[in-house]
Amino acid sequence: MPSSTSVRVFETAKEVARVAAEQFVELAHRAAAEHGRFAVALAGGNTPRQMYQVLAGDPFRNQIDWKSVHLFFGDERCVPHDHADSNYRMAFDTLISQVDIPVSNLHAIKGEGDPTANATSYDAELRAFFPDLPKPRFDLVLLGLGDDGHTASLFPHTDALRATAEWVVANWVEKLREHRITLTAPAINGAANVTFAVVGAGKAPAVAEVLGGPTQPERLPVQMIKPEAGTLTWLLDSAAASRLPKPPSPLAVHVAERPEDDNED
Ligand code: 6PG
């Protein structure tokens, strides 16, 4: 189970981006001090754009020693890195191209070619970076939430949900009619810190189901994410949190312990 779980709600998506950037900086300093490097797996999709732009701007950019930062990806689409759908391209445009990070610290997932071969190759890269560990020990994994309850490319009712030994798999996603490459739930759960950043009213039903509903990981794969020895943080704007039970008092509006899954399987 996570060492701590917190659900923090903020008025705007801009505040969520700022708080996520503040946590990134804090964890980067801590990791660099503790073991000389900060290994972070970036989220894809659109939500993280604002956070990456905040990180790439003042004052955050100069608060980070980018030479100690290693950027990985939680998942990738099977397209070239210059394709509009590429998670790497999104991160490059918003963050990587704006900061002084060594190329050798960029650990992109190859999108072109055979998905299974690319997943196997990334799995091996992670095992080389985190040698002699049962799971990758990312200092931070950033994640988003799809309105269908997926995270990374762990989509409902897909084979990737059943991976136990692999750290990275190719996953056929029928609803998209495409392969994705993704970290597995066990790999994500090895992290020291996992943070979800979720904004917008469109995500409110999924947020309410995931955090307050019964545990149904096959239908809501994000419920598989429970860092075994790490923190779990949900950063929500008020729109995404709008279907959650209202906190008991205004004082609790920013930090509320996650209701324990009383329907644990
Ligand atoms: C991806 C992401 C995916 C994303 C959610 C939310 O590759 O798309 O890894 O899990 O976080 O789909 O996407 P938005 O932030 O665009 O709503």
Q: Give the pLDDT confidence of 175-213 residue by residue, as tens digits.
A: 999 999 999 999 999 999 999 999 999 999 999 999 999
Section 127-147 average pLDDT:
98
**Rounded to two decimals, what is the model's pTM?**
0.93
CB count in 10 Å sphere of residue 165: 9
Q: What is residue 254's predicted lDDT score, i.e. its pLDDT?
A: 53
For the chain, the domain total comes to 1
Q: What is residue 263's predicted lDDT score, i.e. its pLDDT?
A: 45
Q: Give the pLDDT confidence of 92-105 residue by residue, as tens digits.
A: 999 999 999 999 99
Q: What is the mean pLDDT of the chain?
A: 94
Q: What is residue 5's predicted lDDT score, i.e. its pLDDT?
A: 94
Q: Are 126 and 137 in contact (CB under 8 A)?
A: no
Residue 32 lies in a domain: yes
**Is pLDDT larger for residue 44 or for residue 4?**
44
Residue located nearest, by CA, to atom 15 of ligand 1: 47
* Residue 90: domain span: 11-187
Residue 231 lies in a domain: no
Residue 109 lies in a domain: yes
Amino acid letter, 97 = S
Residue 249 lies in a domain: no
**Separation of 33 CA from ligand 1 center, angstroms?**
31
Q: What is residue 187's predicted lDDT score, i.e. its pLDDT?
A: 98
Q: What is residue 265's predicted lDDT score, i.e. its pLDDT?
A: 38
Section 221-244 average pLDDT:
98
Amino acid letter, 164 = T
Residue 160 lies in a domain: yes
- Ligand 1 atom showing the smallest separation from residue 150 Cα: 10
Residue 83 lies in a domain: yes
**CATH (domain of 85):** 3.40.50.1360
